[in-house]
Amino acid sequence: MADLSNDFLGIRSPNPYWLASAPPTDKEYNVVRAFRAGWGGVVWKTLGEDPPVVNVSSRYGAVSYNGTRVAGLNNIELITDRPLELNLREIKQVKRDWPDRAMIVSLMVPCEEQSWKSILPLVEDTGADGIELNFGCPHGMSERGMGSAVGQVPEYVEMVARWCKQYTRMPVIVKLTPNITNILGPARAARRGGADAVSLINTIQSIVSIDLDLMAPTPTVDGLGTHGGYCGPAVKPIALRMVGQIARDPECQGMAISAIGGISTWRDAAEFMALGATNVQVCTAAMTHGFKIVEDMSSGLANWMDEKGYAGTRAFQGLAVPNFVEWQDLNINFKSVAAIDQDACIQCGKCYIACEDTSHQSIFALRTPEGGRRYEINEAECVGCNLCMHVCPVDNCITMQSVDTGLPYLNWQHHPNNPMRKDAAE
């Protein structure tokens, strides 16, 4: 059977599934339950200086779509509201009791050298395996000059990372904010500052809905609302893109990546690792389904690896990175057309409506001799946009078939319509 054991910066864990810094990792009770359920590691909920922060009641908002509950989760919770000494004592005890599990401690203190210099020895004394610098929180703490207020300024990211590498022996992971134009700026800054790894993405600034009776953003606190941090399955595409950008960037080459963002299944985890991540962190899936979801995630990944012949996760880590390119590198001469499996088709007409109203009018709506309906592809007009495949309610009823055009590979950089093409006459 496939070996799921994970080595992240020399930090060993029995599988690549860690719980992200969040309410599920706020205290010893939760973390022990998680380890008993089979999680490979945790990132303890973000610690700060005493006195602890004050959290509000009514903390979560959610987006449910088309019958799916919690497709996205919004929170306005801050870092731990428990005393620093209590957290440190519990971290130390859990690490002693579970030495084979990864224990990372998330930290957020003011952007001052002395603050970081003071807290790092306290964390190191717990026996923790590493620290994660929370440069991503987009609400509450950012207004105090911490969280994403630091993560959005590469110079600050580099500066604090350098302080931490100077004052601790522990591996330093920088947690990046997605609330920025270019994720490579802070990622490269973390590398320059000596950080051993990055984790991403943290939550996205959001308002998930408006209560039309109270006329306030949700979740509401005594009739008022604010923006929060958005996570869950809905953010996965954004996280995949940012992880891939860092994995293929020459300046970040070799820096370990812990992926976060909407990971709910073994397939999600495999996709992130194929795009360069060494392991993954999970939050929303655990909060909506409980800690035992890790059993399905582990068995599913192991079964898939066995089918593919991957002995360990390193065998497929990063395999998708060379195939993640810029648009200008795509083959313009490639062509695909849709094909409908008539035996599987339920004649709902969704493909026809989508194509006729909003795409390229390349599906025929026909009547059968018996008075029924039949839909066929007009291959001469089909541009291979994939829309019909995506709107079809029957899996694999519509598939995209490659067509041999007989033309060589040609991308936009060399296309004759490009006035700035590389082989244009000077």
Which of 137, 164, 231, 397 is catalytic? The answer is 137
Both tokens of 199, joined, read 């984790």
Q: How many Cβ atoms are within 10 Å of 312's Cβ, its own excluded?
A: 15
Closest CA to 40 of 19, 54, 22, 24: 19
- For residue 217, give the H/E element and its range: strand 216-217
Both tokens of 221, joined, read 């606190």
Q: In one letter, which amino acid is 190?
A: A
Q: How many Cβ atoms are within 10 Å of 266's Cβ, its own excluded?
A: 20
Burial 91-117 (b: 16+ CB within 10 A, else e): bbebbeebeebbbbbbbbbebeeebbe
| 8 A C-beta contact, residue 103 and residue 94 | yes
Q: Residues in the chain, how many?
A: 426
Closest CA to 14 of 289, 295, 258: 295
CA R_g for the chain: 25
Question: Beta strands 279-282 and 17-19: pairing type?
Answer: parallel
Query: Is position 164 annotated as part of the catalytic site?
Result: no
Where does residue 360 rank: exposed (0-12), middle (13-18), buried (19+ CB within 10 A)?
Answer: middle
Residue 179 makes CB contacts below 8 A (sequence gap 6+) with 136, 138, 148, 151, 152, 204, 205
Q: How many Cβ atoms are within 10 Å of 41's Cβ, its own excluded?
A: 30
377 torsion bin: left (phi>0), alpha (psi -120 to 50), beta (else): beta
Residue 45 makes CB contacts below 8 A (sequence gap 6+) with 21, 22, 23, 25, 26, 79, 80, 87, 106
First to last CA, the chain: 59
Torsion sign across C-alpha atoms 375, 381, 384, 388: negative
| 8 A C-beta contact, residue 226 and residue 70 | no
Catalytic residues: 137
